[in-house]
Amino acid sequence: MAAVSMRSRSRSMELSPEEERILIRDIALAAEANSKEGDIFYLLTQRWWQHWIDYVNQDQPNNPNDASFVSEHYDSAGSSTLKRPAGIDNSDLIYDAASADTNSGIDIHDTLLEGRDYVLLPQEVWNQLHTWYGGGPTLPRKVISSGLSQTEMAVEVYPLRLQLLVMPKGDRSIIRISKKETIAELHRRACDIFDLSMEQVCIWDYYGRRKHALMNDMDKTLDDANIQMDQDILVEVLNPVNGTTLGRSTSSVRYNGSLEKEGASVLVEPSKSSLSIAGGLSATKGASRSYSVELIQSQGLIARELDTPYGTIGVSTRGSSCGLTGLQNLGNTCFMNSAIQCLVHTPEFARYFREDYHQEINWQNPLGMVGELALAFGELLRKLWAPGRTPVAPRPFKTKLARFAPQFSGYNQHDSQELLAFLLDGLHEDLNRVKHKPYIKSRDADGRPDEDVADEYWANHIARNDSIIVDVCQGQYKSTLVCPICNKVSVTFDPFMYLSLPLQSTTTRTMTVTVFTCDGSALPSACTVTVPKQGRCRDLIQMLSNASSVKHTEKLLLVEIQHHMVQRFLEDPLISLSTIKDDDHLAAFKVPKLANTKYLQLIHRRREQGNSDSQITSGWKPYGTPLVLPISCDDEIIGGNILMMVHKMLSPMLRTKSLERTKISGVMSATEGSDPSVDLCSGEACTDSVVSNSANKDITSSKPVSSLELPLQLVGENNTCTDLWVGVEKAIRLASSSTSILIYVDWSQKFLEKYDTHYLENLPEVFKYGPVTKKARTEPLSLYTCLEAFLREEPLVPEDMWYCPQCKERRQASKKLDLWRLPEVLVIHLKRFSYSRSMKHKLETFVDFPIHDFDLTNYVASKKNARRQLYELYALTNHIGGMGSGHYTAHIKLLDENRWYSFDDSCVSPINEEEVKSGAAYVLFYRRVATEDADASC
């Protein structure tokens, strides 16, 4: 009643749409600024949220600069006649609207996507909207820590769903519990559901229907215990009375005190042959009903014939609809579905797993998954090739996958190619026919014929690795390394499972560097140049020198900037440009050519917003771009010398022209008549950044004037700071091991008003990704060009340097790859995604790949079997959209029908061959074409 009266009072206030929008925006900004682990977010249906967004924005102009919380969701199609939304209705997010009479025990659909089906609102925002509009049901979710470092915050939309099995009686119950809850909480929940006491039970991780581990560490979280979605938990009752458990029997599922009518809640009495489903299937939606059947089958409670090698599936005949079964999306699992469909439609795999492959499972391989991954994949493949078109829910397979590859657990989007690589490697180890791998030491070529060395390497590989995956997917390439110092040549022949081809169609690269002058002659300016993609720092410096008109008496000093500090000096001209990432920040300083110099690093600091100038020095925070100046070590380094150099370098940033003739210190009046080069603020070019000894003598003759006394702090040993203005006449002593001098310049508000420092604040990235231009889209890139780029000789990156056996040193050798032995099925990965420290980027490049007659004859270095190497495309995965909200599909050719189909999760539809090629193509699957002169061993 209190809530109703509150809503009535709120509505009686008659807030306008604009007032609602502003209030929600302010609440949201305040809530998100203080979000932390343990906070509560609420699911709200996207349909209702969009209605409200349109309602509150209907009178707003289409202002692209409006950065309010709601404007980013606003569709300008809003009408001024939009009515106020009705009460919140989240029923489309949950399985059973009839059970929404309480705020707990409500299960949402497994396939919901944020941004498409729902939005997540901070608790304060939900409370305000619920106060105004009412409705529900309320769907709270908690913020938890995630990621490898456990420092990332994420909303746990899908808590763990676990089935509790009570033994010896056989009662069952399905619960939802956060993976961040402790084992103690799981004990408490289990005892509450089955009316047991903590002393009566032992709880086991019952993965795979085997006692995997006793869960007795009460402080450990379920996440730490590697408990996965939809797995079994065994509740073992101690000291049963008269052969029965000490708990009660139940015909429903209890979750936080409420009854849950989910079709997946299966209760089985061992003494009965019948099957009962709590709540009844008629009360559930279709998705829940499908899951119930899938869960029952996966637990072996019906259809025991599924345990036989062939089950009821059999081998399909020509002309049937077998192989056209979709996979249900369990929630962002399109990445998995697309990869699986390509594998199960690989004819060699389809034939192998539909026969009795169990005898080849390697149960003892420590590198495998004790056969469980192969069994799960084989069972899923048989279901997909069974007669009928009902989509299959790959829940058992996903559970097994998450067990052995936790990186693919949960319901986040992942990389389809990374999953594919894991599956191929995992299936190989599970099906490796070699039970005891011999130790074989590979020998270098040492001038022997390549054919002999390649055969030796391949025989050694097969002696340790022999499986259906090797038979079908593995090839061999030749790797040649050349030492840049002694010219030692090393040749090896390594196996490959797939080829990852780069998409760059050119051999050049565009790089942007900000150029600074040390003599105060010009403002900083960004300079963009084109350099060889596999070039070195000398190439970049040369191009920058030409573009920025560096004098013959000057040179460019190149540095990398990170976190407002100098990360490294790029002085070695042989440093490979491949070590410089696109999101790095580079600066180049025009410095005089001097011998025996040290570098002065000028680090800018300012106070954080809200702090006053009376704050202690420790309150200053670095910002902007540090400046670097050279100082000659041949002369005595005087404090006043450094002051003059700093003011000279900063002089172009003075805001007011009237300040240009202001005397910075007594040194100016003493020197400006005799040496025009020390006119720091004139804006004219100076011939030398290093002040002469004669000027140093003048420095000692007078005291500084306070008009432009920038506070400069010299950082000494143990990070102690000394005011340079105090020691303006004193010589600075540096440790002989020190290569640079560190100076802090503290920018108070007074000096920020005199200098325009924005030139120092926004250092551009080496390369800023922008939207793909029309021109780029209309220029297709040939797959052959990508292959040539992959095989091109290039230097190794420094972190992968090669140990030269002749030099006995690590060398940055050049590496050349050649294809030597091609597999029956050639998998090609197009490297569309690039990852760096602060961003992820996707290349939308359209690759023109052949569907028929992919001819690799001229790319195979081995001439032993100089026959034609032709391949034909039969499957591919596609990635549509951006990094955060993309979607995976598959295009597959059913060879029996000679027809292409689109596999989009549950939906399977025929397509024309012309539709196969698109800019979304990601992983390509080719089969060798049998020709009259083809040699299968090649």
Catalytic residues: 334, 887
> Which residues are CB-contacts of 549 (< 8 A; sequence separation ≥ 6)?
none
Token couple for 822: 């091609």
Of 48, 24, 6, 13, nearest to 124 by C-alpha is 24
Instruction: Name the nearest CA neighbour of 126 among 19, 17, 56, 39.
Output: 39
- On whether the CB atoms of residues 559 and 566 are closer than 8 A, the answer is yes
Spell out the SS3 assignment of 134-191. CEECCCEEEEEEECCCCCEEEECCCCEEEEEEEECCCCEEEEEECCCCEHHHHHHHHH
What does DSSP say about strands 840-842 and 833-835: parallel, antiparallel, or unpaired? Answer: antiparallel
Dist CA 727 CA 931 (whole Å): 86
**Cα separation, 712 vs 731, whole angstroms:** 16
Coil, strand or helix at 858:
helix
- Identity of residue 205: D
- What are the two backbone dihedrals, phi and then psi, of residue 919, each rounded to the nearest 5 degrees? -70, 0
What distance in Å separates the CA atoms of residue 81 and residue 97, rounded to the nearest whole number? Answer: 31
First to last CA, the chain: 80
170: left (phi over 0), alpha (psi -120 to 50) or beta: left
Largest interatomic CA distance in the chain: 111
Buried b (16+ CB within 10 A) or exposed e, 14-37: ebebeebbbebbebbeebeeeeee
Contacts of 365 (CB under 8 A, 6+ apart): 429, 430, 432, 435
Q: For tokens 């009662």, what's the residue?
A: 171
Q: Which amino acid is at 564?
A: H
Instruction: Please name the residues in contact with 273: beta carbons below 8 A apart, sequence gap of 6 or more.
Output: none
| Cα gap 337→328, rounded to integer Å | 8
